[in-house]
Structure 1
Amino acid sequence: MPDTAPRPIRAAVLLGLAAQALFTLRLATPHKLMFDEVHYVPAARVLLKLSGPVNIEHPLLAKELIALGITIFGDNSFGWRILSTFAGTATVLGIFAILWMLFGRTRTAVMGALFVLLNITVFIQARIAMLDGFMAAFVVTGIAALLWAMRSTPGKAWQRWLLGSVLLGLGVACKWVAAPYIAYAGIAFLAIRLRDARARNRSVYAALNPGDQIFWPGMPAIHALLALGVVSIAAYCLTFLPAFFYAVQPMTVHGFVRFQREMYAAQTEILPPHTYQSGWRTWPLMIRPIWYLYEPVDGAVRGVLMIGNPAILWGGLIAVAACLLAWVREGSMKLLAVVLLWAGSWAMWALIPKSIGFFYYYYLPSIFLALPLAAAFDRFGTGKYRHWEEGFLILAFGLFVYFYPIISAVALNDPQDFRYWMWFPTWP
């Protein structure tokens, strides 16, 4: 790789510190529950007391982490949200790691991480006690760990593969929507092995065996896929251990299986229409953002609008098209990979049996848009286009600052001030 190891480490440390500082600034405001915190903070309080089952439509891990924050920092708005900030920082660093391992350039990795940091969806989910931020952190870092295993020595490849499997299992233990990424990882592993075998005029049998492999050396394919499945499932199951100690309706082994069915039934029930609902096809265009908060609180009118940075969400779609075109012309699997990760994250919502959808379901795909953005600038940002990357970053930063008052619960002067940021009639 063109960069030496210390350079990306220094860059990652600086990015991590910047992200953590940004996410933690004024974290306690508002000092009341907002949006889905009304479900998950009370559930975390119940978990702390091990009183009994509550909020049964989701697994336990993210609520356990919220409860951990309450235990350490107190049952207050800071305690509810503080561990979400660490999840947000882990997400930023996970994207940095993915890009570093794909392209081997510190600049590309830094740019992608900055795009995540300035993408308003990440900022908001890092400052609220919801499940999605934790789920995304485990998925992104899990993918990074599997890529870390890809170019390792045989012994380390297994260790890192198992780490990635655990992280993906923990993502599912936060929210079931992480489950497809385990399947995606297995498919990608097989596809890369088979492509490499074909390029080297080797048989399918050779692709499945551990000997003389360029990627994931020392790992037989069947064993690797079994480990991915078994370890991720085991990690998922272990997060339910506190439920076996409930004072009321403690979980049993048989009850654990029944509880999964109950979660599925709760996830797929028909819900009444909602003011902020939107279809999955509309999410990339950001047609219907969501108010997480807009009301008088802490002595002033304050708002938190779940919206994306227009430069990143809309510019990211152009980057997807550019990467796809470059793949067609050049056959670069790296460019195809970043496109497929975003596309798979979004398109799976066409199959998930939810009766209604919301823009915040686009959270993971919005994160993965940073990958084709960074990849497109890496591929095309030369010659007369060499300064476009800096210009785009300045635009993204400017839009982040522009929206900051209504994504961070800053005190507004008038209840109608929100109209200043409403660009379209469908924006609330």
Structure 2
Amino acid sequence: MLRRPLPLALLLFALAEALFLFRLSVPSIFVFDEVHYVPAARTLIALTGPANIEHPLLGKSLIAFGMLLFGDTPFGWRVMSTLAGSVTCVAIFATTWLVTCRRRPSLVAAALTLLGFTLYVQARIAMLDGFMLAFLSSAIAMMAWTLRRGGWWRWIAAAVLLGLAVGCKWLAAPYVAFAAAAFILFKRADPRRFPGLPVWLALAVLGIVSLLAYFATFAPAFFYQVEPLTLARLIPFQFDMFERQTQVLPAHAYQSNWWTWPLLIRPIWYLYEPVDGTQRGILLIGNPLIMWGGLVAVAACWIGWVRNGSPRLFAAAWLWTGSLAIWAVIPKSLGFYYYYFPSSVFLAVPLALMLDHWRSRWRHIDLAFVAAALALAIYFLPVLSAAPLPDGGAFRYWTWFSTWV
């Protein structure tokens, strides 16, 4: 039983942050979508006018904050992303602890989060997805805490975090509905859950508070020198964003369908070129052991829930399933593997739960799994961290399949 998780959570945060910060300024050029978001952050710093209006402002504001603190440098562009990645790791640890109340599976979940590759890559690039997931995973942990202990302040905090997640990317919006549905299901199954929170009042607070938090993220736009936002324009501006979000885009070499992402069919090379005096590469790919093993764990959670109705197995399975199901209905003309980022991180929870369950038969299966995941992380590290590569054909060492090239 883990009675005092805070010291361990702080240690995990420090370890994750040290990992993400190491050689953060390499490469010194824009990587992948940094070409969009760093200029947008510069515009926010100067408050010159609208830029990159297809996305809300919060993620770009956080990139700008890092640049204000550390300068318009690669380190300044990316430093806030490292904090978001560390928060995500701790949030997965906290969620697993709140579900199990045990140290071992919680630490396994945190380790698998760090070793899953996708968090490491996204925590070292100035993109919006890492900020969205930090707020989203924190909201999930806060909801789990509310489920266990009740209390209006926890529920309100979860609603604020959900609103801020949507303020980074609209992809987080369906999770507000997921939160409402989860509240209703768990409360009906056992009225003692969410103590002190009546259903309709809790749902009203969730909707109103998350919406207010979302709209608050547009505050900098009211101070633009050109085309400043106004209260009258705030709602119509959302429709302008929607038009940008749903526009038909030309075909892309790295596009892929949502159902291919769990199978790891088409990862993305964020970078592969000579830079800073040598050949370097950054491949956004999930750890094959965790990505494929996680699918087995999700299936086992669903089977376990059908057999015994375990709420925690249902929650763990739905966390991944729901995050992927969004893409089956979302109106996007193109899909890319980085859209799978939240789902890839959420796999750590069902994996930790099932590995802990399977320990009754195979005593050290969880440690063996983490060790194997670590071995793969060391193997792939050169093309996760933009380390110097021997030559332009070095990618062959890591591209196991032709679709990975």
- What is the CA deviation profile of residues 215-242 of structure 1, one whole-angstrom value per residue up to 9, with x for unaligned ones? 2111111110000000000000011011
- Secondary structure, counterpart of 2:299 in structure 1: helix
User: What is the alpha-carbon distance in structure 2 between the residues aligned to residue 308 and residue 104 of structure 1?
Assistant: 28
Matches within 5 A, 1:147-296: 147-152=144-149, 157-196=151-190, 213-296=191-274
Residue 245 of structure 1 deviates from its aligned partner by 0.7
Q: Which amino acid aligns with 1:48?
A: I
Matches within 5 A, 1:19-38: 19-38=16-35
TM-score relative to the length of structure 2: 0.99
Q: Which amino acid aligns with 1:169?
A: G
Residue 387 of structure 1 deviates from its aligned partner by 1.0
User: What is the alpha-carbon distance in structure 1 between the residues aligned to residue 82 and residue 13 of structure 2?
Assistant: 11
Residue 396 of structure 1 deviates from its aligned partner by 0.3
User: What is the alpha-carbon distance in structure 2 between the residues aligned to residue 186 and residue 69 of structure 1?
Assistant: 34
Task: Report the equivalent of 2:292.
Answer: 314
Task: Report the equivalent of 2:82.
Answer: 85
- What is the CA deviation profile of residues 52-106 of structure 1, one whole-angstrom value per residue up to 9, with x for unaligned ones? 0010110000000000000000000000000000000000000001000111101
From 98, 102, 105, the counterpart of 1:105: 102
**Equivalent residues of 2:358, 2:365 under 8 A apart:** no
Task: Report the equivalent of 1:328.
Answer: 306
Residue 332 of structure 1 deviates from its aligned partner by 1.0
User: What is the alpha-carbon distance in structure 2 between the residues aligned to residue 72 and residue 388 of structure 1?
Assistant: 44
**Equivalent residues of 1:88, 1:126 under 8 A apart:** yes
Task: Report the equivalent of 2:48.
Answer: 51
Q: Which amino acid aligns with 2:374?
A: F
User: What is the alpha-carbon distance in structure 2 between the residues aligned to residue 341 and residue 149 of structure 1?
Assistant: 17
User: What is the alpha-carbon distance in structure 2 between the residues aligned to residue 393 and residue 317 of structure 1?
Assistant: 16
Stretch moving more, 322-331 or 220-229 = 322-331
**Pairs aligned (count):** 405
User: What is the alpha-carbon distance in structure 1 between the residues aligned to residue 111 and residue 215 of structure 2?
Assistant: 35
Task: Report the equivalent of 2:330.
Answer: 352
TM-score relative to the length of structure 1: 0.93
From 262, 266, 276, the counterpart of 1:298: 276
- The unaligned stretches of length 5 or more in structure 2 are none
User: What is the alpha-carbon distance in structure 2 between the residues aligned to residue 32 and residue 224 of structure 1?
Assistant: 47
From 366, 376, 385, the counterpart of 2:354: 376
Task: Flag as ranges the 4+ runs of structure 1 deviating above 3 A.
Answer: none
Q: Percent identity?
A: 53
- Secondary structure, counterpart of 2:282 in structure 1: strand
Residue 326 of structure 1 deviates from its aligned partner by 1.6
User: What is the alpha-carbon distance in structure 2 between the residues aligned to residue 59 and residue 408 of structure 1?
Assistant: 28
Task: Report the equivalent of 2:340.
Answer: 362
From 342, 364, 375, the counterpart of 1:387: 364
- Secondary structure, counterpart of 2:390 in structure 1: coil
User: What is the alpha-carbon distance in structure 1 between the residues aligned to residue 300 and residue 209 of structure 2?
Assistant: 37
- What is the CA deviation profile of residues 158-180 of structure 1, one whole-angstrom value per residue up to 9, with x for unaligned ones? 00100010000000000000001
User: What is the alpha-carbon distance in structure 1 between the residues aligned to residue 138 and residue 8 of structure 2?
Assistant: 17
Residues 1:74 and 2:71 aligned together? yes
- What is the CA deviation profile of residues 232-267 of structure 1, one whole-angstrom value per residue up to 9, with x for unaligned ones? 000000110110110000111121112100110001
Residue 302 of structure 1 deviates from its aligned partner by 0.4
**Equivalent residues of 1:11, 1:110 under 8 A apart:** no
- The unaligned stretches of length 5 or more in structure 1 are 197-212
Residue 4 of structure 1 deviates from its aligned partner by 2.1
User: What is the alpha-carbon distance in structure 2 between the residues aligned to residue 335 and residue 379 of structure 1?
Assistant: 11
- What is the CA deviation profile of residues 33-70 of structure 1, one whole-angstrom value per residue up to 9, with x for unaligned ones? 11000000000000000000010110000000000000
From 387, 395, 400, the counterpart of 1:418: 395
- Secondary structure, counterpart of 1:302 in structure 2: strand
Residue 373 of structure 1 deviates from its aligned partner by 0.1
Aligned-CA RMSD value = 0.9
**Equivalent residues of 2:91, 2:138 under 8 A apart:** yes
**Equivalent residues of 1:151, 1:214 under 8 A apart:** no
Task: Report the equivalent of 1:199.
Answer: none
Task: Report the equivalent of 1:399.
Answer: 376
User: What is the alpha-carbon distance in structure 1 between the residues aligned to residue 143 and residue 107 of structure 2?
Assistant: 20
**Equivalent residues of 2:84, 2:123 under 8 A apart:** yes
- Secondary structure, counterpart of 1:151 in structure 2: helix
Stretch moving more, 73-82 or 326-335 = 326-335
Residues 1:408 and 2:385 aligned together? yes
User: What is the alpha-carbon distance in structure 2 between the residues aligned to residue 393 and residue 147 of structure 1?
Assistant: 25
User: What is the alpha-carbon distance in structure 1 between the residues aligned to residue 22 and residue 118 of structure 2?
Assistant: 16
User: What is the alpha-carbon distance in structure 1 between the residues aligned to residue 188 and residue 67 of structure 2?
Assistant: 48
User: What is the alpha-carbon distance in structure 2 between the residues aligned to residue 300 and residue 274 of structure 1?
Assistant: 27
Matches within 5 A, 1:135-154: 135-152=132-149
Q: Which amino acid aligns with 2:324?
A: W
